């Protein structure tokens, strides 16, 4: 039996930091409101010159170094992003060129904030099939580009960044189980309902959200997804050492852990200093906790995504 295993992680945050006070100086909001409702204190914002593939490149290089794997040994690149560099080619192909390699499969996954978990589950299945041996799975986003900076209800929530893992074929798991779900009837509660047509933007190029509906939906499906994935892996909640849900809002994270019966000390929280980085949030959090020596080899981590679509999913992973 072939399994896949995370053998290295990496991440990148653009140097520019924007604090809640920076928002309060230009919008009718306050540090207290943002902290209380979301737990967010600061977020990183990409420079105009930086694209998702640039952020992905930095994260990928770190992950390859941590895994001690050369870029040309990678035979599969999956980039999860809702803020691609172009309509096409894919950000994954642009990243492959920036890595200076040729010939691997390379494609993007579009599942918004669940994108990394969707990408990880896809790469896991492709490795388990025997067709691929080493994959780079990356979440990379410049959400700052799709925000209405005058809409205090949304612009304070998000940040930019990238996180990456190297996944390699092995003879023990690795990834125990992944469960992916979607319900397109909820498309309207979180969207960027615009497109490029005839040289113009049709619809809106900005993120729109029904915050309370998203909040309730996220807590419900993250709990269901945790249970479904543990059942698929034949494990119990006590077998989980760390819970890394999509970093959207501290209140969503704490409610999810509470509902799932996972202790607060096992909950990974980085949204306070990253903001919501969409598809990048889970691998960014994973890399930060691994580099800090908090998540250690052999520990079991439940990774969870939820986002526009609506999409959601979880992967149970032994590191
Ligand atoms: O990847 C998934 C992405 N989405 C999310 O994670 C969003 C999930 N939802 C949430 O995190 C919360 O719903 C929010 C943080 C977005 C909002 O918190 P809330 O407790 O649901 O507040 P609310 O939307 O009910 O708004 C309460 C009040 C409103 O004023 P009124 O109508 O009561 O006078 C808003 O206009 O807060 C106001 N408000 C703000 N006030 C200060 C909304 N945004 C702000 C702001 N600063 N930034």
Task: Give pLDDT, residue 98.
Answer: 98
Task: Give pLDDT, residue 6.
Answer: 98
296 vs 6, 241, 301, CA distance in Å? 12, 10, 10
Task: Give pLDDT, residue 256.
Answer: 95
Percent helix, strand, coil in the chain (nearest 5)? Answer: 40, 30, 30
Provide the residue ranges of all domains of the chain, joining segments of one domain with +: 3-171, 176-318
Residue 292 token pair = 């800090």
Nearest Cα residue to 85 out of 74, 72, 94, 76: 94
Same fold, 3-171 and 176-318: yes
**Homologous superfamily of 3-171:** Thiolase/Chalcone synthase (3.40.47.10)
Beta bridge partners of 178: 315
| Residue with token string 């989980």 | 240
Task: Give pLDDT, residue 157.
Answer: 98
Task: Give pLDDT, residue 154.
Answer: 98
Which parts of the chain have pLDDT scores under 70?
A: none
Mutate to test the pocket of ligand 1, among 156, 249, 285, 306 (most ligand atoms within 8 A of CB): 249
CATH code, residues 176-318: 3.40.47.10
Atom of ligand 1 nearest to the CA of 154: 16
- The residue contributing the CA closest to ligand 1 atom 35 is 153
Quote the CA–CA distance of 175 and 286 in Å, as a whole number: 14
Nearest Cα residue to 278 out of 194, 183, 161, 125: 161
Q: Is residue 40 lining ligand 1, measured as CB closer than 6 Å? A: no
119 vs 49, 116, 139, CA distance in Å? 26, 5, 8
Report yes or no: 164 and 56 within 8 Å, Cβ to Cβ: yes
CA of 210 to the centre of ligand 1 (A): 9
Task: Give pLDDT, residue 88.
Answer: 97
Atom of ligand 1 nearest to the CA of 248: 6
Task: Give pLDDT, residue 202.
Answer: 97
Report yes or no: 80 and 138 within 8 Å, Cβ to Cβ: yes
- The residue contributing the CA closest to ligand 1 atom 43 is 153
Task: Give pLDDT, residue 265.
Answer: 97
């Amino acid at each position: 039996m072939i399994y896949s295993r995370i053998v290295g992680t990496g991440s990148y945050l653009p140097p520019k930091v924007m604090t809640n006070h920076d928002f309060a100086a230009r919008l009718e909001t306050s540090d207290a409101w943002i902290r209380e409702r979301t737990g967010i204190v600061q977020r990183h914002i990409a420079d105009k010159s930086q694209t998702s593939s640039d952020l992905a490149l930095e994260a990928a290089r770190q992950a390859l170094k941590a895994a001690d794997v050369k870029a040309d040994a990678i035979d599969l690149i999956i980039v999860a992003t809702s803020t691609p560099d172009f309509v096409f080619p894919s950000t994954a192909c642009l990243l492959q060129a920036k890595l200076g390699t040729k010939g691997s499969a390379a494609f993007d996954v579009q599942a918004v904030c669940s994108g990394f978990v969707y990408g990880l589950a896809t790469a896991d299945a492709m490795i388990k099939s025997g067709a691929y041996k080493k994959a780079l799975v990356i979440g990379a986003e410049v959400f700052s580009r799709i925000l209405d900076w005058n809409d205090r209800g949304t612009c304070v929530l998000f940040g930019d960044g990238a996180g990456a893992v190297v996944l390699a074929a092995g003879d023990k798991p690795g990834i125990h189980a992944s469960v992916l779900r979607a319900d397109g009837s909820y498309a309207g509660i979180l969207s960027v309902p615009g497109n490029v047509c005839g040289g113009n933007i049709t619809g809106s190029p900005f993120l729109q959200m029904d915050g309370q509906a998203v909040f309730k939906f996220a807590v419900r499906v993250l709990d269901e997804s945790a249970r479904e994935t543990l059942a698929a892996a034949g494990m119990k909640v006590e077998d989980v050492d760390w819970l890394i849900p999509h970093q959207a809002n501290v209140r969503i994270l704490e409610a999810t852990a509470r509902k799932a019966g996972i202790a607060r000390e096992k909950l990974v929280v980085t949204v306070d200093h990253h903001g919501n980085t969409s598809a990048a949030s889970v691998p960014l959090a994973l890399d930060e906790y691994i580099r800090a020596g908090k998540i250690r080899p052999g520990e079991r981590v439940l990774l969870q995504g939820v986002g526009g679509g609506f999409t959601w999913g979880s992967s149970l992973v032994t590191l």
